[in-house]
Amino acid sequence: MHSIRKADERGHADHGWLKSHHSFSFAEYYDPKHTQFGALRVINEDRVAPGRGFGTHPHRDIEIISYVLSGELQHKDSMGNGSVIRPGSVQRMSAGTGVAHSEFNPSPEEPAHFLQIWIIPAERGLAPSYQEAEFSDADKRGRLRLVASPDGANGAVTVHQDVRLYAGLFDGEERAQYVPAPGRGLYLHVARGSIRANGFELAAGDALLIEEEAELVLERGEQAEVLLFDLA
């Protein structure tokens, strides 16, 4: 069973300095048909103007993953962490019992374009924690590279939920096949470019939701960057 979520069906918010598309219900956008997919609660595609950002604000009991597509994103939090992440970086913050953080575009000229992802943790009340990992284009070229998992395998960041997140870059004849375990659901998000997934033509911002299918086949990418979530 599958369904397609087209890019222009997402929620949209324009705050001037921030332009955001919401794959799931978020803030003032509510769609009862799209509140979450398993433990996947948020995929926000954000574009932040130069020199602007999100002031310090709190979170609790959520796993937050930031995935930068272009530009830079400066992070500071109440745990004492501070860094600037760029394309290739995967950042994970477990809010747990409570944490405050800020996100800011430090560039005076270039917008920051990134995905903010929220995953509901398997347990509430965890100790807050933070982690970063780097993945080169070569790591993701023509394949699905594990970037987040419950056990932090192969250099992936650790998430406190039975979710595995893969990232891939595809162009031309590059092709990948993914076979989920029985009872798993797949959520494929096209971050940019275009690609064929199980015979469906998908463009930037589109998503393919898969349940009870034997495999996912990715092919005929055109400068495509994709994220694949494998969820219980």
pLDDT digits (tens, 9 = 90+) for 81-123: 999 999 999 999 999 999 999 999 999 999 999 999 999 999 9
Tens digit of pLDDT for each residue in 116-152?
Answer: 999 999 999 999 999 999 999 999 999 999 999 999 9
pLDDT of 164 reads 98
30 CB neighbour count, 10 Å cutoff: 12
What token pair was written down for 202? 């998908």
pLDDT of 216 reads 97
pLDDT class of 209 with cuts at 50, 70, 90: very high
Q: How far apart are CA 63 and CA 96, in angstroms?
A: 8
Dihedral sign (CA 220, 202, 38, 183)? negative
Q: Give all strands (DSSP E) within 63-184, no chain letters.
A: 63-70, 73-77, 82-85, 89-94, 99-104, 112-119, 129-134, 145-149, 157-158, 163-170, 176-178
pLDDT of 228 reads 98
pLDDT of 212 reads 86
Q: Are strands 157-158 and 145-149 parallel, antiparallel or unpaired?
A: parallel
Per DSSP, the chain holds a count of helices (H) and strands (E) of 1, 20
Closest CA to 8 of 203, 209, 226: 203
Q: How far apart are CA 69 and CA 114, in angstroms?
A: 5
pLDDT of 213 reads 83
At position 69, the amino acid (one-letter code) is L
pLDDT higher than 90, residue 214: no
Which residues lie closer than 8 Å to 155 by C-beta, 6 or more apart? 133, 135
Spell out the domains of the chain, with CATH numbers in brackets: 2-231 (2.60.120.10)
Residue linked to tokens 């797949």: 186
Rounded to 5 degrees, φ, ψ at 140 are -105, -5
